[in-house]
Amino acid sequence: MRNPARMLRALLPCGLLIAGMAPAAAEEAFFGQERAGFELNLGAGPFFSPAYPGSGSMRGQPFPHINGGYGEWLDFDVLDGVRIAALQAHGLSLGPILRLRDGRDAADARRDLTGLRSFSETVEGGVFLAYEAGPLYADVSLTQDLAQSHGGAAMEARLLLSVPVGRVAFTAGPELRVVTRQYAQSFYGVTEAEAARTPYAAHRAGGGLERVGGLAAMQWRLSARWDLQGYVEYARLLGSSADSPLVRSPGGSPDQIQAGLFLSYRLF
């Protein structure tokens, strides 16, 4: 489960560095418009997610929403990471990416997680490749845990279609995630030692296709500086991740839903 305070502390140094590059005036990118300068949006709202990966219980909490960018080469979002489009040509962009990844804290679900290893949120780093053509956007990213929290790597891909209707933009499309064995074992595995002190049987999770699903989002321009942004994301766990005793137990579920609704103000 995402912890707003921990995530905000992790983002703050990066956010201050980016804010230091802001020019005196900038225009916000909206409905496919090109961003002319620096943009920083600050907001907050309710955020809902599984108590832990594989959980059947949802938890809600207030969540800080920070996003923006600089021109066409920098994008940042508290939910999607920091991307630098170092190379751009014919709708393609390629560059480095940093993103936050949730950890797992037994305190978030003591009934289900007591006796299992806890590990902190981490920063993943890697590369991304994106393609944009009109309302269509596709990207794939490959990231590795830099802090050795879960210790694994993940490849994520999505294909999105955006359609503006008046002052509202709608975006939707499919997503998938492929993970390494270490990633899967950290989130879904149960060691022999953990099995001895919990109700779960030992389970060695393997790498591969972890989940498939889809995203639906909207952005409503309320005024020149105020936006209302919301999204719902659904994913179905697959393979050895879905076979985990955490997922198959009464407290677990292969169906994972995440949603948020944020009121955002364009500061720059």
- At residue 114, the pLDDT reads 95
- At residue 10, the pLDDT reads 42
Per-residue pLDDT tens, the chain, 268 aa: give them.
445 444 444 444 444 333 333 333 333 344 556 677 899 999 999 999 999 999 999 999 999 999 999 999 999 999 999 999 999 999 999 999 999 999 999 888 999 999 999 999 999 999 999 999 999 999 999 999 999 999 999 999 999 999 999 999 999 999 999 999 999 999 999 999 999 999 999 999 999 999 999 999 999 999 999 999 999 999 999 999 999 999 999 999 999 999 999 999 999 8
Dihedral of CA atoms 103, 108, 109, 114 in degrees, nearest 10, equals 70
Which residue matches tokens 């996003």? 67
Q: Token digits for 204?
A: 């060695």
Q: Token digits for 229?
A: 């942004």
- At residue 32, the pLDDT reads 52
- At residue 36, the pLDDT reads 78
- At residue 35, the pLDDT reads 77
Q: Token digits for 14?
A: 């990066």
Q: Token digits for 39?
A: 């943009």
Domains parsed from the chain with CATH numbers: 4-266 (2.40.160.40)
Strand partners, 220: 168, 228
Burial class (CB in 10 A: 0-12, 13-18, 19+), 25: exposed
Burial class (CB in 10 A: 0-12, 13-18, 19+), 235: buried
Dihedral of CA atoms 235, 54, 149, 112 in degrees, nearest 10, equals 160
Backbone phi and psi for residue 190, each to the nearest 5 degrees, phi listed first: -135, 115
**Angstrom distance (rounded) from CA 237 to CA 56:** 12
Q: How far is CA 59 from CA 45, 129, 243, 257, in A?
A: 14, 33, 23, 11
Which residue matches tokens 């997922």? 247
- At residue 33, the pLDDT reads 61
**CB-based contacts of 265, cutoff 8 Å, min separation 6:** 41, 42, 43, 225, 226
Burial class (CB in 10 A: 0-12, 13-18, 19+), 267: middle
Identity of the amino acid at 34: E
